[in-house]
Amino acid sequence: MTTTRTTVLDAATAKRKIERIAWEIYERHIDESSVYIIGIAESGYLLAEKVTAILKQISGIEYTLCKLEINKSNPSDDSIVIAGCEAGFDDASVVVMDDVLNSGGTLIYAVKHILNWKVRKCTTAVLVDRNHKRFPIKADVKGLSLSTSMQERVQVEYTDGETTAYLS
């Protein structure tokens, strides 16, 4: 059986959404001197790289990019590793970012791990919010909110410097 894919974000639209995500993050943290951008590996980290590059162009705030590695099949297994932010997040502002918010499991366990520190502010951001959550978490900043069936899947792809999202 052939699966059809529908483009939900073409490259030009995705670029605009990513720029808007960066501006919203900047607006939410305008009074901060530094912000940690924590991308959930792998696709969330690729998104975080793009957003961080834009943030560094539009703002004088110091942004530190970190990669959070989590078992997406079993996010509660406590094997979370964060690279690039070895000093921790006490009294820090953080943004936890992923490409797609599906059930909410990955994002909620990532945030739970971040809250082991006494963070000052925690914001969540995603490129696509599917609106089918099993966990009580929301994206504070999102590029696209998409109502889908439970059987449908959203996939974000990064190729040749461009970002696209598909529904299949």
Calculate the alpha carbon distances from 102 to 51, 61, 90, 109 in Å: 20, 30, 29, 13
| Cβ neighbours of residue 11 closer than 8 Å, sequence gap 6 or more | 162, 163, 164
Is the per-residue pLDDT at 150 higher than 70?
A: yes
pLDDT of 2 = 59
pLDDT of 147 = 87
Which parts of 6-132 are beta strand (E)? Answer: 6-9, 34-40, 62-69, 81-83, 93-101, 121-129
The H or E element spanning position 10 is none
What is the topology classification, in CATH, of domain 20-167?
A: Rossmann fold (3.40.50)
Is the per-residue pLDDT at 1 higher than 60?
A: no
Measured distance CA(138)–CA(2) in Å, rounded: 33
pLDDT tens-digit series, residues 101-123: 988 999 999 999 999 999 999 99
pLDDT tens-digit series, residues 70-92: 988 887 777 899 998 888 899 99
pLDDT of 89 = 95
H helices, E strands: number in the chain:
3, 9
Across all residues in the chain, what is the average pLDDT?
Answer: 93
Q: Give the residues across from 155 on adjacent strands.
A: 166
Is the per-residue pLDDT at 131 higher than 60?
A: yes
Whose tokens are 């670029």? That residue is 15
Task: Give me the residue spans of the domains in the chain.
Answer: 20-167
The answer to whether the CB of 147 falls within 8 A of the CB of 153 is no
Task: Return the DSSP state at 152.
Answer: -
